[in-house]
Structure 1
Amino acid sequence: MTALDIWCHIHSLMPLCDSARSACVSRIFLRSWRCHSILILTEETLGLTQKEGQKMDIARGFTRRVDYILKNHSGTGVKILKFVIRYHYNVNTCHLNSWLQKAITQGIEEVTLFLPTKYIEDYNFPCSILLDGCGNSIRYL
């Protein structure tokens, strides 16, 4: 077991927000954060606080931060993926599909997607991302 493996394990036990903050300290922490196995992406875990009249800023912040996290995540080792998208977010389904495509990899065990009813009526889950063995390990969808 290498030092990076140890750091990856430690980061996987930390809450996402704390793990991301620690990635600012050193390159080793940054590399190990990219292997974080639990991605729970909510307003709270992303450090977004809602103030009166700032709903659009929160929505843009959510999209920007999720894009950044998933762009910099290695994509491997994700065991749990959870998205909580609030009603007032105006997240484009193309963004959502690309996030799912990036995060759902072989070995994932749990995928949870909380969507407001305005999305449920029009959204078609991209089942093709579960092909090529990516969906074989899913225990909870």
Structure 2
Amino acid sequence: MGHLQKIILLVLVVPLALFPGGLISYVLMYEELKFETSMWIPIGMTALGIGSFIFHFKTKNFYRLVKKDEELPRVDLLLWILNFAFGMVYILLSFFMIYVMYTFRTEKNWFMMLITIIPMFIVGIWTVFDALYLNKLIGIHKYEHRHSEIEDIKGNITE
């Protein structure tokens, strides 16, 4: 089930990662606007999304390897941070959009905004909880693997 979850996250992260940067690229190339400082935010969201995609791609087999009690490959700390930050950015963006909806009371387009906000919030929460759960699972796996090696050594000494 964990492997399927990773594949779903990979599929969901791609559009959420590429949309902000693609939107800025479109605005700069076709609308011929000047680059402003606030445009770094969507570019940063795209960078975080690419890091999150790489993280999910590298960890897609972790759930299978834990079940088989095999050695887990190492994932860079930077990818963990980028993945966690990607999830947190989309959670915060969802809350901000709900705040904007509430403040301006846009009754006209509230349904379309909710269709946008809810998937962003779900993917953000799912990404953060997946990273936290995977980190906990890796810790448990290392602990059990270490103790099984110690038991193997003890078994070889007593024989």
Query: TM-score interval w.r.t. the shorter chain?
Result: under 0.3
Higher strand share: 1
Which structure has more RCO (C-alpha within 8 Å, separation ≥ 6)?
A: 2
Higher helix share: 2
